[in-house]
Amino acid sequence: MSNTSLRGRDFITWLEFTRDEMDAMLDCAHDLKRKQIRREPHKLLDGLTLHMLFYNTSLRTRNSFETAMTQLGGHAHFLQPGAVYTPALKGEEKAYSTERISDVARVLAEMGDGIAIRIYGKYTDWKYGKGNRIIREFADWSRVPVINMEDDMYHPCQDLADVMTMQEKLGHNLQGKKFVMSWAYSGSVEKPLAVPQSAIVAASMMGMEVTLAHPKGLDLDPKILAASKDLAKRHGGKFRVIYDMEEAFKGADAVYPKAWTVQPTDGKTPMDPEKAKVVFEANKGWITTKEKMALTNNAIYMHCLPADRDMEVTDEVIDGPSSVIVEEAANRLHGQKGMLALLLG
């Protein structure tokens, strides 16, 4: 597994990998999951270290990465917000509490074998793309792989878990399966675009029939929409955008309803919480209910968690028989093990 062409690569978005490369990563993940279930040793990263820079809180991401490195024989260093200086792009340094990324990246690369980063929201002034630029600058300066644990544009590690789960529940070949990425209401407007944008990229790459559903005014990045359409065409799938949640659910095999905010994607204009609040409150009906699930083809209900219960989804759905949220969360561990084994091994 360790002697592949993926060794030494950064993992920032699926768009920088081919379908064959992502299949290899997913196959490795499934294999390592089977080994873990059988308690077969698989210390492919014996003695290696992953530095994890968290500028946002985390439950699943932190614990899945720490457990992954332990099971692979390595170690993960958790660097929490406040314990390290905030990374600064060139020209944005302050006299206090910041350190230029070029210095942080080069030093950590000398001490470990990989650098993983989560940064979005208030740490990027809610300016779309800044978090992604920070991670890419780390990658420019680091001589070891840089892994995106979620920025303001992409969440590629969540996609590994999502696709693994769909392969387990719907069949390994997802070609032609109907996947719905839908907006859902939340009482909080501080919701980045990373999960929905990454989800449509991954599902399109898998050749699924992808429907993106949301109220008007909650558009995603047009560049990522274009990339998803291109991937769907290239891999024999379909891609469409509609503005009706119930229509989107009809005949679906997998539904993924989640809130995201009204976010200008020009990279300059920050998210306006008051404007977002108006749009959110006008669309409280975008909630996943038992009635909406009945419109599907016995679809699985997916969510990256944490979910806003009784806003995004009712308890009877998220705790019901169609929900795969626990398996999906557990697959964060296994998906990331497949990725780490091939990139760091």
pLDDT tens digits for range 176-198? 999 999 999 999 999 999 999 99
119-149 tens-digit pLDDT: 999 889 999 999 999 999 999 999 999 999 9
Q: What pLDDT shows up at residue 98?
A: 80
Are 129 and 232 within one domain? no
Are 177 and 224 within one domain? yes
Q: Determine the Cα–Cα distance for residues 234 and 33; give it in Å rounded to an integer.
A: 30
Note whether residue 6 is domain-resident.
Answer: no
Q: What pLDDT shows up at residue 2?
A: 38
Are 302 and 259 within one domain? yes
Confidence of residue 78 (pLDDT cuts 50, 70, 90): very high
Are 116 and 261 within one domain? no
Note whether residue 64 is domain-resident.
Answer: yes
Q: What pLDDT shows up at residue 262?
A: 98
Q: What pLDDT shows up at residue 342?
A: 98
Q: What pLDDT shows up at residue 321?
A: 98
CB 42 within 8 A of CB 36: yes
pLDDT at 4 over 60: no
Q: Determine the Cα–Cα distance for residues 30 and 83; give it in Å rounded to an integer.
A: 35
The alpha carbon of residue 190 and the mean position of all alpha carbons in its chain are separated, in whole angstroms, by 16
CATH number at residue 19: 3.40.50.1370
Domain count of the fold of the chain: 2
Are 116 and 179 within one domain? no
Q: What is the DSSP letter of 232?
A: H
**Cα angle value 154/226/295 (rounded, 5°):** 80
Least confident of 24-38, 74-88, 155-169, 232-246: 74-88
295-319 tens-digit pLDDT: 999 999 999 999 999 999 999 999 9
Q: What pLDDT shows up at residue 252?
A: 98
326-336 tens-digit pLDDT: 999 999 999 99
Q: What pLDDT shows up at residue 88?
A: 78
Note whether residue 253 is domain-resident.
Answer: yes
Q: What pLDDT shows up at residue 5?
A: 83
pTM for the model: 0.96
Confidence of residue 87 (pLDDT cuts 50, 70, 90): confident
Are 123 and 29 within one domain? yes
Are 193 and 300 within one domain? yes
pLDDT at 3 over 70: no
At 205, list the tokens.
């790459």
**Other CB atoms within 10 Å distance of the CB of residue 90:** 9
Are 117 and 178 within one domain? no
Domain with 139, as residue range(s), is 14-154+332-344
C-alpha atoms less than 13 angstroms from C-alpha of 30 in its C-beta half-sphere: 15
Q: What is the DSSP letter of 181?
A: E
Confidence of residue 1 (pLDDT cuts 50, 70, 90): very low
Q: What pLDDT shows up at residue 11?
A: 98
Are 121 and 225 within one domain? no
Note whether residue 1 is domain-resident.
Answer: no
Note whether residue 7 is domain-resident.
Answer: no
Are 149 and 170 within one domain? no
Confidence of residue 95 (pLDDT cuts 50, 70, 90): low
Average pLDDT, the chain: 95
Identify the CA nearest to 331 among candidates 61, 50, 150.
61
Work out the average pLDDT over 156-182.
Answer: 98
Note whether residue 180 is domain-resident.
Answer: yes
Residue 307: Cβ-neighbour burial (10 angstroms; 0-12, 13-18, 19+): buried
